[in-house]
Structure 1
Amino acid sequence: MNRFLLGLLGLVLLLAGAFAVVVHFGRVPQVDRSAALVPGTVLPPAWVLWVVAAAAVVVALLCLRWLTAQIPRRKVVSWRWEEEAGTTRLSTATATAPFTEEVTAYPGVRKVETALTGPHTAPRLALVVRAHGDADLRGIRRRIDDEGLPRLREALDAPGLQAIVEFRMTSSKGDARVH
Structure 2
Amino acid sequence: MSASNPPGRLNRGVLALLGLMLVAAGGLTLATHFGWRGLFDPASTIVPGTGRPPTWVLYIITVVATLLGLLCLRWLAAQLVRRPRRRIWRLESDPDRGRTELATTTAVEPFADEIEKYPGVRAADASLTGAQNDATLTVVIHADQQASLAAIRHRLSTQALPRLRQALGLRALPTQVEFRFTGKTTTTVR
**Which range, TM-score by smaller chain?**
0.5 to 0.7
Shift of 1:159: 1.2
- Superposed CA deviations along residues 59-102 of structure 1, whole A, max 9, x for unmatched, are xxxxxxx9785143253221123433122110111111111111
1:40-119 equivalences under 5 Å are: 70-73=80-83, 75-82=85-92, 83-84=94-95, 85-119=97-131
Is the 1:122–1:158 Cα contact (8 Å) retained in structure 2?
A: no
Q: Give the corresponding residue for 1:132.
A: 144
Greater share of strand residues, 1 or 2? 1
**1:76 aligned partner, one-letter code:** R
Cα RMSD (Å)? 2.6
Structure 2 spans left out of the alignment, 5+ residues: 1-75
TM-score normalised per structure 1: 0.57
Distance 1:126 1:132 in 2: 20
Q: Could you tell me the percent identity over the aligned residues?
A: 39
Does the residue aligned with 1:98 lie in a helix, a strand or coil? helix
| CA displacement at 1:163 relative to structure 2 | 1.1
Kindly tell me: are residues 67 and 139 of structure 1, through their superposed partners in 2, closer, same or farther at Cα, counting changes over 3 Å?
A: closer
Worse-matched range after superposition: 81-90 or 98-107 = 81-90
Q: What residue in structure 2 maps to residue 149 of structure 1?
A: 161
Aligned residues: 114
Return closer, same or farther for 1:92/1:138 CA change in 2, 3 Å cut-off: same
Distance in 2, Cα, partners of 1:88 & 1:119:
15
Matching residue's letter, 2:91: W
Q: Equivalent of 2:186, from 167, 173, 176?
A: 173
SS class of match (2:99) = strand
